[in-house]
């Protein structure tokens, strides 16, 4: 839908909206087929099959969330999610190719080959739960929340209008029905699409306390869509940012990937810094940034610029690289401290990496399938400076050579090291084997010496 058509539609509907209520708006504004651009031909076949099957089983089912939002904005969604009044067990019974996942909020994954359609049951409001004095957690049969208000279990089911009120952002609470081809808007999502606003549904502080990750979603969608953040949605962000420390480190890993590897990493990072959302995730790196280390800020920004560019060009990216960039300033500082104590260069780097990664696991748990390549990328920074003999040829066969080489180029771009080494390695990769030999003979001897530090000897005891 073009900007002008959205504007025209909003003029027709503007008098029907007031400020979104916090829970369970009584009815939807229905946008008929001839007044929106969502079409079944733009919707994934698997998603249509899921909706049709649920309808045939007697259940309501809608395309919801980002799929509807992106189609209304004229884009092509990557994911198509379904909301229904069928329980997870009923959805599971309708699809043999499905499984129920999740504990905090149970959902069903319906698999079609390598493709997965996510199906959620309409969520409802929460009754006042009982309080367990032993752990300061409020509970009832289907929900639980901590003393601070964070939901740790959220399996209260309700109606479609309750479900809309329980979603996070107005622009993600639009529903499309393939029965009547209408879009249903319960909370003013069409208005905010037209006004390019990110607005949380309900009271922002309450919703952030229920799930602090919603603060990250606010900045992620603001960066992704280039929307402004609505005033009341924005106000508590910096004040409540420390609540992110209550989120499990494992969940945070996935959230960081969504934040920094979606193609708008630099803009997302800038918003995270503005609202204090980066510090709870990467406290050691933020400590260095607070000390106004220009090299640390520069290499992180350049790393995000490069990652955004690769994504725009449909080139592969790996979480290992961006995590290596974010933690490198801390690794480099600790490496220097260990070197100065007399430990040789490579063992000192191993120790530094171990200390940094162990501490980082407390806030963002990085799986070994990424932390091990990160260590190799960091170690290659020392090995790439030593090129004599067969070392250079052997390094070309290293499984993470390309990532280490890209990291070296990044350090040169950021001004952390003098330019030249990256260009040499680029030429060496492209050179004929005979030319490579000549290149190796021209390396200054001083450039190939690893840094060593004398161990401090204890004074000899007098005889």
Active site residues: 79, 81, 168
Cβ-in-10-Å burial (0-12, 13-18, 19+) of 462 comes to: exposed
Report the alpha-carbon distance of residue 194 to residue 221 in Å, rounded: 15
Distance set, CA 294 to CA 172, 298, 371, 408, 451 (Å): 38, 6, 25, 18, 24
Helix (H, G, I), strand (E, B) or coil at 33: helix
Query: Measured at the alpha carbon of residue 43, what is the angle toward residues 309 and 229, in degrees to the nearest 5?
Result: 55
Contacts of 439 (CB under 8 A, 6+ apart): 424, 427, 428, 431
Residue-wise burial string across 144-183, b where 16 or more C-beta atoms lie within 10 A, e elsewhere: bbeeebbbbbbbbbbebbbbbbbbbbbbbbbbbbbeeebb
Nearest-angstrom CA–CA distance, 331 and 352 = 6
């Amino acid at each position: 839908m073009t900007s002008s058509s959205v504007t025209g539609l909003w003029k027709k509907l503007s008098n029907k909206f007031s400020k979104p209520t916090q829970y369970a708006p009584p009815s939807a504004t229905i946008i008929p087929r001839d007044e929106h651009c969502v079409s079944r031909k733009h919707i994934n076949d698997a998603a249509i099959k899921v909706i049709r099957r649920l309808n045939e089983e007697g259940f309501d089912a809608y395309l919801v969330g980002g799929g509807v939002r992106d189609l209304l904005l004229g884009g092509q969604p990557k994911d198509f999610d379904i909301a229904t009044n069928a329980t997870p067990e009923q959805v599971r019974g309708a699809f043999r190719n499905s499984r129920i996942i999740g504990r905090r909020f149970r959902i069903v994954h319906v698999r079609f080959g390598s493709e997965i359609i996510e199906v959620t049951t309409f969520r409802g409001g929460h009754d006042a739960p009982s309080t367990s004095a032993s752990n300061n957690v409020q509970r009832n049969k289907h929900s639980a929340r901590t003393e601070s208000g964070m939901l740790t279990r959220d399996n209260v089911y309700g109606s479609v209008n309750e479900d809309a009120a329980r979603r996070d952002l107005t622009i993600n609470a639009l529903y499309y029905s393939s029965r009547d081809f209408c879009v249903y808007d319960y909370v003013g999502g069409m208005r905010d699409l037209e006004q390019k606003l990110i607005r949380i549904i309900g009271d922002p502080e309450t919703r952030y306390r229920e799930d602090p990750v919603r603060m990250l979603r606010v900045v992620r969608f603001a960066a992704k869509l280039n929307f402004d953040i609505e005033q009341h949605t924005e106000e508590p962000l910096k004040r409540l940012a420390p609540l992110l420390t209550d989120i499990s480190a494992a969940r945070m890993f996935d959230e960081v990937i969504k934040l920094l590897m979606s193609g708008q990493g630099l803009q997302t990072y800038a918003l995270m810094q503005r609202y204090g959302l980066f510090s709870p995730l990467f406290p050691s790196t933020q400590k260095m940034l607070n000390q106004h280390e220009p090299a640390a800020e520069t290499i992180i920004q350049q790393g995000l610029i490069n990652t955004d560019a690769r994504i725009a060009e449909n080139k592969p990216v790996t979480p290992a690289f961006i995590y290596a960039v974010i933690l490198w300033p801390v690794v480099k500082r600790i490496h220097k401290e260990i070197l100065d104590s007399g430990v040789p260069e490579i063992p000192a780097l191993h120790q530094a990496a171990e200390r940094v990664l162990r501490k980082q696991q407390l806030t963002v748990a990085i799986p070994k399938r990424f932390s091990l390549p990160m260590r190799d990328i960091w170690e290659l920074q020392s090995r790439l400076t030593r090129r004599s003999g067969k070392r250079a040829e052997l390094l070309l066969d290293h499984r993470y050579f390309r990532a280490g080489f890209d990291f070296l180029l990044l350090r040169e771009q950021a001004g952390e090291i003098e330019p030249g080494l990256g260009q040499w390695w680029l030429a060496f990769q492209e050179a004929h084997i005979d030319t490579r030999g000549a290149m190796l003979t021209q390396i200054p001897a001083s450039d190939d010496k690893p840094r060593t530090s004398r161990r401090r000897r204890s004074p000899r005891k007098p005889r």
